[in-house]
A and B are shown apart, each in its own frame.
Chain A
Amino acid sequence: MSETKHPIYLDYAATTPVDPRVAEKMMACLTMEGNFGNPASRSHSFGWNAEAAVEEARRQVAGLVNADPREIIWTSGATESDNLALKGVAHFYRKKGRHIVTSRTEHKAVLDSCRQLEREGYEVTYLTPEENGLLDLDKLKSALRDDTILVSIMHVNNEIGVIQDIAAIGEITRERGILFHSDAAQSAGKVPIDLAEMKVDLMSFSAHKIYGPKGIGALYVRRKPRVRLEAQMHGGGHERGMRSGTLPTHQIVGMGEAFRIAREEMAEENARLLGLRNRLLNGLKDIEEVYINGDLERRIPGNLNVSFNFVEGESLIMALKDMAVSSGSACTSASLEPSYVLRALGREDELAHSSIRFTLGRFTTAEEVDFVVETVRRKVDKLRELSPLWEMYQEGIDLSKVEWAAH
């Protein structure tokens, strides 16, 4: 296997490296010398010690979001949490109603679960956000019906990083007696969350977005007022019957430690990331025909999603081979469709094709940002030299009026 020099990592929204402090805690739960017991083993100290570690981690996760530890259910990740929340609630409350409200910019774990529920006979309304990516709450209100049983709106969007006002949404849904689920995979540890204050009934968490390991997540299930759901994983009745399966102590301890660190370091980290993000933004914003996707104010500090008009996203990513970023370009998704999130914002396909998402994180440095700025500027220029669209734009041709010979 050849040794490739690794590019600069700027794809923290896709996943994060495990923090060394987290890895250390996890490793102590693996081998014979470690805390390897089954947390459900009642009869010996191997089980008791594992259970203690799991419960400590549960307290740590609950602590980040000001919840009761008994409200935290372990899952294999935010995708499973989303599935459990949506299908679990829909099935349990099926006699109360069959209507669900969500948005077009949700993660596929929510959207695809909704599609499945539609196949089962449920009705789903998919709200379109405003151009800045945020939902108009009056539109949300008017979508609610007497037979609506669940609203699911993500806290922070993975592509554009915008922050929805879930506190306000919770007020609306609680008043109508409708359950409210929010996918917080991209927000926990980045945006303060207070579940004692916010009227959110269910919340999905992911470890690997916040310097924990992949393969572990959690679902917050409110106790007061009590939320019921139908289990999706059946077996030994773990997690109060809501999710069966032997608890992976090492994974859970990792998630707990990651959430503990996030709680302690969030404010400082956010300030640092904001400085770096603005350094990146300032280096790019005076390039001609550059568009920021999503609201810049109501946004997590580490995210910058930019479209470079007249340059196609995959070719730009190829040009930026010294950095790991992602694109809303069709070519980089398995289907040949551009980002559904950017299209939902009303972005023309060309701008969706030309977008790059930069997400900064705990290990990003100012030197890396400067290198990125310099490289992006140079490569955008080079690709525009190659672009017939840039040529037409410079000649003053209105591209929206052109008749293309597409096949």
Chain B
Amino acid sequence: MAYSAKVLDHYENPRNVGSFDKDDRSVGTGMVGAPSCGDVMKLQIKVNEEGVIEDAKFKTYGCGSAIASSSLLTEWVKGKTLEEATRIKNSDIAEELALPPVKIHCSVLAEDAIKAAIADYQKKAGA
């Protein structure tokens, strides 16, 4: 399987690997996928008082395309408002990484992950 240069780059030099404290009120955590599918993504966002994502971290169990999709996403969401981040589409990710058809689902999972993280943050903020 030939990987695009961008996928290889994210894979060799992943951005924002790590974890925040999930109990922190300013952190939203999205965990999507399942081991039996071969893909699990944990995406965390740190949101400031103005509702802007000031930092993001990820951990992914999955193929190179999955790692690249989630790494790219953490880069993209930094500095965006929650509203803007929700509008990121999997097709944007797939296009940026030049994902082949059989790997599109990796970008879908990344979109699910950011939405889950945002939902988690909003749930905590609302509570």
Contact = CB atoms under 8 A, between A and B. Distances in A.
A389 interface: yes
A68 B34 CA distance: 54
Interface string B55-83: 00001111110110000000000000000
Given A386-B67, A391-B19, A311 B38 contact: no
Interface in A380-396: 385-391
Contacts of B109: 407
A350 interface: yes
The secondary-structure label for the interface of chain B is mixed
A388 B61 contact: yes
A331 B38 contact: yes
B41 A388 contact: yes
A310 B59 CA distance: 12
A314 B37 CA distance: 13
A55 interface: no
B3 A386 contact: no
B33 A405 contact: yes
Interface in A345-367: 348-350, 353
A404 B67 contact: no
A330 B86 CA distance: 30
Given A315-B11, A318-B3, A407-B109, A310 B61 contact: yes
A184 to B, nearest CB: 31
B14 A386 contact: yes
Contacts of B33: 404-407
B63 A387 contact: no
A399 interface: yes
A338 interface: yes
A312 B108 contact: no
A353 B59 contact: no
A329 interface: yes
Contacts of A334: 102
B59 A388 contact: yes
Residue among B33, B38, B60 with most chain A CB within 10 A:
B38
B35 interface: yes
A291 to B, nearest CB: 14
Contacts of A348: 35-36
Contacts of A313: 38
Interface string A306-349: 00001111110010000000000111101010100000000011
Contact of A314 (B17, B19, B35, B63): B63
Contact of B38 (A330, A385, A388, A407): A330
B61 A389 contact: yes
Nearest to B37: A406
A404 B33 CA distance: 6
Contacts of B1: 314, 332
Interface in B1-42: 1, 3, 11, 14, 17, 19, 31-42
A312 B65 CA distance: 12
Contact of A312 (B17, B63, B105, B112): B63
A396 to B, nearest CB: 15
A310 B40 CA distance: 10
B116 interface: yes
Contacts of B67: 315, 386
B110 to A, nearest CB: 12
Given A318-B3, A404-B33, A349 B38 contact: yes
Nearest to B63: A314
A38 B11 CA distance: 54
Given A331-B62, A387-B60, A405-B32, 5 more contacts: A315-B66, A318-B63, A389-B35, A407-B33, A407-B112
13 contacts: A314-B38, A315-B62, A318-B3, A330-B37, A330-B38, A332-B1, A336-B37, A338-B38, A349-B38, A387-B59, A388-B40, A388-B42, A406-B36
Q: Which 6 A-B pairs have the closest CB atoms?
A: A404-B34, A406-B34, A314-B63, A349-B36, A388-B42, A350-B35
